[in-house]
A and B are shown apart, each in its own frame.
Chain A
Amino acid sequence: MSRIACFSVPMFPLAARLRCEPELLQEAVAVVEGNGNSAHVVAATRRARSKGIRPGHSLAQARSIVPKLIARGRDNEAERTAQEALLEIAETFSPRVEDAGEGVVFVDIAGLERHWGEAAAEASGLGPRASGESDAGGGHEVLLGRAAMRRCEAIGLPVRVGIAASKLAARVAAELAKSPTVVAAGNEAGFLAPLPLTRLSPELGAATTLHRWGITSIGDLAGLPESEVASRLGELGRELHYAARGIDPRPLIPRPLPPDFREGMELEWPLVALEPFLFIANAALDRLSKRLETVGFSCTRLELTLTLEPDGFHVRAIELPAPTRDVKTMLTLLRLDLEKTPPGAPVTGFSLVAHPDRPRRAQLSLFGPAALSPERLATTIARLISILGDGRVGMAMPVDGHLPERYAIADYAPPPPPTTRPRPKKSRGLLAVRVFRPPVPVEVNTHVIDGETQIAAIHGEGDHAGEARVSSGPWRIEEGWWAEKRNDREYWDAELTRGGIYRLYRDRVSGEWFLDARYD
């Protein structure tokens, strides 16, 4: 038996706009479509409606009713991302989800009773069951509907839920004021009968004819003979009659899973400064993060597309060092990237695309050394890289070669800790070496004792200067003799009379001296 849930967002253009600008929720706001004299109200907030503004009013009419009305144009980017967010919530209930557009989503919930445990538990503390349940499974469906409403509210979308055996009945149920509404299986015609005919959205011609006949409710139409209606109103009338009897043969067409997550906005005015843009981007990233959390993903790559004035786009991609959902980290990376390469023109809109990836997981140990939380580690590393820059955080790697200052840095991915704690190895008591990167240029005095060249004094800055007490050397290193830029060095160790043991070398190609390291 088919069971379909319909999630419907009333006044979707307004809801999508308020999701991006929640501070306008208590204001008199109208979303308008069209430009100039053709601009008309599509939806309005409760405060505006209470003062008499209705959909279809021209902007001038609306302003004559409420002079301080805040008018916003329809934002296609905001509506698209709100629709995606709605679909993602629907996918937390069932993998079979149909995108019907304009804030409407159908979900196939047949045979998923066992999966509703979590939703039922989530909604169980919300009070008595709705009166709409009438069959054995209705209680679970009401709980499912309430869970859906809560989840949608968490992402800033007020949703109404209707559950029935067909898409048509589910949609009509979702448009009712009481939510969630559950229509018992086989009772679609009975549910629709008392409702006004306008709920079926008939075409204007057919609606006028039916009105002339005195047909006002869906039940009145369903009571007429099908063939008589078809002979007078044609194929359209037959379809309407079918709908009035609760017959909807249209199957649910599931949508494929999206490869990425997108949030964005069209701006009312062009932005030229970074801070206002980051303020808006922060809110978009926050929404993105919540959506990723809903489906259990993290972001591994962030793409930013800026719409520029007067025309053109600026696209950039930010590779995150590790999958993360941390808004602060992503915002910092975004800021650094924009500071490094500004778009060069005022910004009139933007969209952020997050490429999802599974967050890192690990089994923590009870008796071994404490393991790091992979999620927290990834976030910290991403934040550190955003602050310090590339190549300054990671795992040190030994490199083949002879030059002492050589090093490499790789992504930090520690192996899991051992299950038991071994004893630490005894130290070899080695004198460590502080490498100078880059080597410090100095002047060196040498003298020859018994035919051997020895260091007499080092003339450098700060502590790197003084008479040499003892020195030893030279040790010769030659690397890359076949290349144009070869390294040919003579190394010495020298102890200064004022303290400090240095390793220094003379570049045999240029004849210059450098401090390479200090023993410590």
Chain B
Amino acid sequence: MTATAPRLDWQFQLLDLRPSRPQPILVPAPPPVEPGQSAAVSRLRAALDPAVAARLLNGSELIRALQKSRREEVIPTTLEPLDALLAGGLLRGKVVEVVSRRSTGRFAVAMSALAAATSTGEAAALIDLGDHFDPQLGEAAGIDLRRLLWIRPKTLKEAVMSTEMITATGFQLVVLDVGLHPIRGRRVPGAAWVRLARTAESHGAAMLISSPYPLTGTASEAVVKSGGMRVKWLGQGRAPRLLAGVKTSFVLEKHRHIKPGTAASLELAER
């Protein structure tokens, strides 16, 4: 591409003292336009009662308000103690990590969040690195399987890549369960989690990462770690035993807006 170079005498125009040269006239600034306020809307608002006019929105204002309210919403896990710990649930546009190595209900938290999201009509995705999801039990837990995209990667790298692609597609809840220790595939660089957090933020998706040990570092909004667990068995002595459930506790390890260290206890029943 070629560009015509300006003449030198125009470049040094300020040094030219000859009065005959016509001076350029600056274009006046356009009048200020009130964003989203057309003349018709302004007239209509002026004619209405102020209380009614305050609730009147035009199309673009309505879409902006809806987008803002959607971003401020949370997706509850519907496990009340855990929701209380996380100030309502999983924040949209943020990453929450649940860490636990033993049978303390980490997968149950993921199932509950998926059930809550899909039961309200949201599209959700489960990236299941360990290939542990049981459709029968998922349905029994309340997950609407029609709205759940199940992805079964083979390595952590594939899992992170799938999570990013799915989040960018517009899924409202993305759950990445990396399975049990040891995690399949090599570790991914820390920047990958930052990238995931940015993708979640730019698309307003709530992201839950469930792992046996902390992975996300500074990229997550909150980290919840299991405190301890007690298994409840039915039957004592010579009577046959039956697994009834577990009583577990979660501790808030990190949160950007809540003081960490708070604990919540949770009871999970075996059907």
Tell me whether A396 and B107 are in contact (CB under 8 A): no
Tell me whether B151 and A470 are in contact (CB under 8 A): no
Q: Which residues of B contact A406 (CB under 8 A)?
A: 136
List which A397-418 residues lie within 8 A (CB) of chain B.
Answer: 397-399, 404-409, 412, 414-415, 417-418
- Please judge, given known A-B contacts A370-B170, A372-B170, A493-B243, whether A388 and B152 are in contact too, CB under 8 Å: yes
Please give the distance in Å from B171's CB to the nearest CB on chain A: 7
Tell me whether B103 and A520 are in contact (CB under 8 A): yes
Q: Which residues of B contact A436 (CB under 8 A)?
A: 132
Tell me whether B170 and A376 are in contact (CB under 8 A): yes
Tell me whether A430 and B138 are in contact (CB under 8 A): no
List which B223-246 residues lie within 8 A (CB) of chain A.
Answer: 229, 231, 233, 235, 238, 240-243, 245-246
Q: Which residues of A contact B172 (CB under 8 A)?
A: 369-370
Q: Is the interface of A mostly helix, strand, loop or mixed?
A: loop
Q: How far is the CA of A396 from the CA of B146 in the complex (A)?
A: 8
A395 contacts B by Cβ under 8 Å? yes
Q: In the complex, what residue of chain A is closest to B244 when comparing beta carbons?
A: A431
Q: Which residues of B contact A427 (CB under 8 A)?
A: 77-79, 112, 115-116, 141-142
Q: In the complex, what residue of chain B is closest to A417 when comparing beta carbons?
A: B121
Q: Which residues of A contact B201 (CB under 8 A)?
A: none
Tell me whether B108 and A373 are in contact (CB under 8 A): no
Q: How far is the CA of A431 from the CA of B102 in the complex (A)?
A: 13
Tell me whether B120 and A422 are in contact (CB under 8 A): yes
Q: How far is the CA of A394 from the CA of B138 in the complex (A)?
A: 15
Q: How far is the CA of A82 from the CA of B131 in the complex (A)?
A: 48
How many residue pairs link A and B with beta carbons under 8 A? The number is 218
Please give the distance in Å from B169's CB to the nearest CB on chain A: 4
- Please judge, given known A-B contacts A418-B121, A424-B117, A436-B132, whether A395 and B150 are in contact too, CB under 8 Å: yes
Tell me whether B101 and A383 are in contact (CB under 8 A): no
Question: Which of B103, B166, B269 has the most chain A CB atoms closer than 10 A to its own CB?
Answer: B103
List which B153-209 residues lie within 8 A (CB) of chain A.
Answer: 153-154, 158, 161-162, 165-166, 168-172, 179-182
Question: Which of A409, A436, A501 has the most chain B CB atoms closer than 10 A to its own CB?
Answer: A501
B93 contacts A by Cβ under 8 Å? no
Q: How far is the CA of A519 from the CA of B102 in the complex (A)?
A: 9
Tell me whether A519 and B246 are in contact (CB under 8 A): yes
- Please judge, given known A-B contacts A430-B108, A519-B246, whether A383 and B146 are in contact too, CB under 8 Å: no
List which B245-271 residues lie within 8 A (CB) of chain A.
Answer: 245-246, 266-271
Q: How far is the CA of A173 from the CA of B100 in the complex (A)?
A: 78
Tell me whether A462 and B181 are in contact (CB under 8 A): yes
Tell me whether B105 and A408 are in contact (CB under 8 A): no
Tell me whether A425 and B231 are in contact (CB under 8 A): no
Contact among A369, A404, A414, A450 for B238, CB-based, below 8 A: A450
Tell me whether B165 and A396 are in contact (CB under 8 A): no
Q: Which residues of A contact B70 (CB under 8 A)?
A: 370
Q: Which residues of A contact B130 (CB under 8 A)?
A: 434
Contact among B77, B107, B115, B123 for A372, CB-based, below 8 A: B123
Q: Which residues of A contact B139 (CB under 8 A)?
A: 398
- Please judge, given known A-B contacts A380-B165, A427-B142, A434-B180, whether A415 and B147 are in contact too, CB under 8 Å: yes
B86 contacts A by Cβ under 8 Å? no
Q: Which residues of B contact A380 (CB under 8 A)?
A: 165-166, 168-169
Tell me whether A376 and B242 are in contact (CB under 8 A): no
Tell me whether A520 and B107 are in contact (CB under 8 A): yes
Contact among B106, B122, B181, B245 for A369, CB-based, below 8 A: B122
Q: In the complex, what residue of chain B is closest to A425 when comparing beta carbons?
A: B119
Task: Indicate with 1 or 0, residue by residue over B88-117, a CB within 8 angstroms of chain A CB atoms.
Answer: 000000000000111111111011100111
Q: Which residues of B contact A387 (CB under 8 A)?
A: 158, 161-162
Q: Which residues of B contact A422 (CB under 8 A)?
A: 119-121
Tell me whether A414 and B123 are in contact (CB under 8 A): yes
Q: How far is the CA of A423 from the CA of B267 in the complex (A)?
A: 23
B34 contacts A by Cβ under 8 Å? no
Q: In the complex, what residue of chain A is closest to B70 when comparing beta carbons?
A: A370
Tell me whether B165 and A383 are in contact (CB under 8 A): yes
Please give the distance in Å from A437's CB to the nearest CB on chain B: 5
- Please judge, given known A-B contacts A394-B149, A394-B150, A395-B150, whether A430 and B135 are in contact too, CB under 8 Å: no
Which 6 residue pairs of A and B lie closest in terms of their CB atoms, listed nearest first? A499-B102, A434-B132, A427-B78, A472-B241, A396-B135, A520-B107
19 A-B contacts (beta carbon < 8 Å): A370-B172, A373-B170, A377-B170, A381-B149, A384-B165, A388-B151, A394-B149, A395-B149, A397-B145, A425-B78, A430-B111, A430-B140, A431-B245, A432-B105, A433-B137, A462-B181, A462-B182, A518-B180, A519-B270
Given pairs A392-B153, A499-B103, 5 additional interface contacts (CB within 8 A): A387-B162, A388-B153, A424-B75, A434-B179, A470-B233
A→B interface (CB under 8 Å): 366-373, 376-377, 380-381, 383-384, 387-388, 392-399, 404-409, 412, 414-415, 417-418, 421-437, 450, 452, 462-463, 470-472, 493, 495, 499-501, 517-520
